[in-house]
A and B are shown apart, each in its own frame.
Chain A
Amino acid sequence: MNIDMRVNELPARTYRWLQLNGEDVSEKDISFSAFSLEAVKVPEGVSLLENVDADKAESIFAPSHEANLKADEGLVGPNGDTAPNHAGQIVRTGMGTGVDSLLESAGVKATVIKIAEGTVVSEPVMFHDHLSKGKSTISRQVIIVPDNSELTVIMDYDSDADADGIEAVSTKFFVGKDATLHLVKVQMLGQKVRHFDDLGGVVMEKGKFDLVEMEMGASKSYVGAYVSLLGDESQSLNNTGFLGTDEQFYDFNYVAEQRGKKTDSMATFRGVLEERASKNWRGSLDFREGSSGSVGDEQEDTLLLSPDVINRSMPLILCKEENVDGRHGATIGQLSDDMLFYMEARGIDKETAKKIMVRARLDSVARMIPDEDLKNKVALFLDQIL
């Protein structure tokens, strides 16, 4: 099949002059040969339902979708249901409708990961995919963490060094009242793979969504996350790390839609670009009517280690409520002379200092991975690249 889709659109098209409101993806003659991730660890208390029809798997989102439609009645783009990136989506995702259409075209069924209400599962559920040369994979997961429960889900993707296909992953999540979902995604694909990672979900009253994400491989990565904080006092915490080397390209789109009262969204993006790597990053805080007392903060910290890298950052704050506090900040820069001097004064040469700083940035995210084996795997992957 051919893939032609527009992904990662901003909630409001404010960067038309830079042609960066979204990104076009075009792939020819793609044949998907695998339609799910391998579940390598499913702890007791977790039910895993495979080959579930998408409509059935996503029915959990219907009530909140109905409520959102009602709240947005009469509201046209950029935030209404007419927003082209989300038109018809029962749950909004970062990459948008294009991925849903791709999943439909490829006939992908969902894997539903679920625990019982009031259950805390301390061991993580672990998924893995290894992409072989000449193969492409597409999968969809729906994670349901009902009221008063807590779950950790880890997904990691790697590949043969010469793999040249597509690794496409769609993940949707529901976090109930007073529930917590810790989601960890680690991408260590080979340098010829194209990666799509589409994420979206809702968080109910006093629920918490905690995302740790590392993007380190693939030639082109399109990564989007859309978190709807629907319930009062719901929270979203996002820590993303990325490494761009050679000619790698990243297109990121993160949206925190804050509808409930006193919601809290905190996102930190920390990464490094070197050689001829390029990156687009869109980060939006969308304070909806009724979100009074909410706070949102998004911080980007990107280290540029070559004059040939291209780094584009598009922070956006949308606001329909007065009593909210939205902040964004960006630290984009090279390794400072002061930092280099400090390291050299300890006997560390320039090249090693650079490597230490790159590792330090990624390690600050990697240490949040709640699995030692995966942490070690990340360390080995970085050893090979750096």
Chain B
Amino acid sequence: MSEQNLLQVSDLSVSVDEMQILHKLNLKVNPGETHVLMGPNGAGKSTLGNTLMGNPNYVVNEGKIIFDGQDITNLSTDKRAAAGMFMSFQNPLEVPGISLSAFIRNAIHSQTGKPIKLLAYKKLLESTMELLNMDPSYADRDLNVGFSGGEKKKAEILQLLMLSPRLAILDETDSGLDVDAVRTVSKGIEEYQKRENGALIIITHSTKILESLHVDHTHVLVKGELVASGDGSLVEEINANGFERFIKD
């Protein structure tokens, strides 16, 4: 492919509390591609997501992370976000005192450094909330405070759509959601793919969220190592047979 990789992970080894979790992991993501990262519990999926985003609790022992041609292995998290990376959290944090709308506005301003036209911002926020079937009153509510699990995940996808990153890492975005909420969240992700030609790394161990999404590559992570990669059909195989054959191998 002539196009430069958006993300290139080379020989990445990562430890948490001095315990090595990821072992010499390699991954390439091109612009607009959707990658699915699957694996049993404790395989290191969230570790990879957190490491890519620069969580200081995850220590890179070896290897490199290149994003858009820049070595970001030692770059701070806020600078990675400003460069165009995004991570939706498995357990989004509650922030009393700052509304969802104000938080997103702060984030956009921090990333762009430019003033925000309030009317245009409000319109975009409202239409995006509508797309996600979110009650508009949530915009003025304290960020994630008293939100149901489903509303928290929708608020994460709302941030994804409002911040327009080039690469989004979705960490178990579908966990704990009912069927309708999964469908809505999935619609939001699809919109991100279309609107931004955004690249995705979807971390999941269920396949519900993938049903309406086009998947380019599927990777299976077991005990911190990528043991298999394939196209979207690998998702269906895992859905039918589970991870057993990968664990045995």
Contact = CB atoms under 8 A, between A and B. Distances in A.
Interface of A is mostly: helix
Interface residues of B, number: 27
Interface stretch (A53-61, A193-201, A228-236, A344-352): A344-352
Nearest to B96: A364
Main secondary structure of the interface of B (DSSP, over half): mixed
A337 B78 contact: no
A360 B95 CA distance: 8
A360 B97 CA distance: 4
B176 to A, nearest CB: 18
Contact of A345 (B77, B95, B142): B77
A268 to B, nearest CB: 10
Interface string B151-177: 000000001000100000000000000
Contact of B106 (A345, A356, A361): A356
A347 B81 contact: yes
Given A337-B56, A347-B111, A356-B106, A363 B78 contact: no
B192 interface: no
A328 interface: no
B163 A347 contact: yes
A345 B87 contact: yes
Interface string A348-386: 111010001101111110000000000000000000000
A337 B57 contact: yes
A342 B97 contact: no
A346 B92 CA distance: 12
Q: How large is the interface on A (under 10, 10 to 19, 20 to 34, 35 or more residues)?
A: 20 to 34
A338 B89 CA distance: 11
B9 interface: no
Contact of A348 (B89, B96, B106): B106
A304 B110 CA distance: 24
Contacts of B57: 337, 341
Contact of A359 (B81, B98, B111, B159): B98
A62 interface: no
Contact of A346 (B55, B96, B97, B159): B159
Given A346-B111, A360-B95, A363-B98, 15 more contacts: A337-B56, A341-B55, A343-B78, A344-B78, A345-B78, A346-B107, A347-B110, A347-B111, A348-B107, A356-B103, A356-B106, A357-B95, A359-B97, A361-B96, A364-B97
29 contacts: A337-B56, A339-B93, A341-B53, A341-B56, A341-B57, A342-B89, A342-B92, A344-B54, A344-B77, A345-B78, A345-B81, A345-B87, A346-B81, A346-B111, A347-B78, A347-B110, A347-B163, A348-B78, A348-B110, A349-B76, A349-B78, A352-B110, A356-B103, A356-B106, A357-B95, A359-B97, A360-B95, A364-B96, A364-B97
Interface of B: 53-57, 76-78, 81-82, 86-87, 89, 92-93, 95-98, 103, 106-107, 110-111, 142, 159, 163
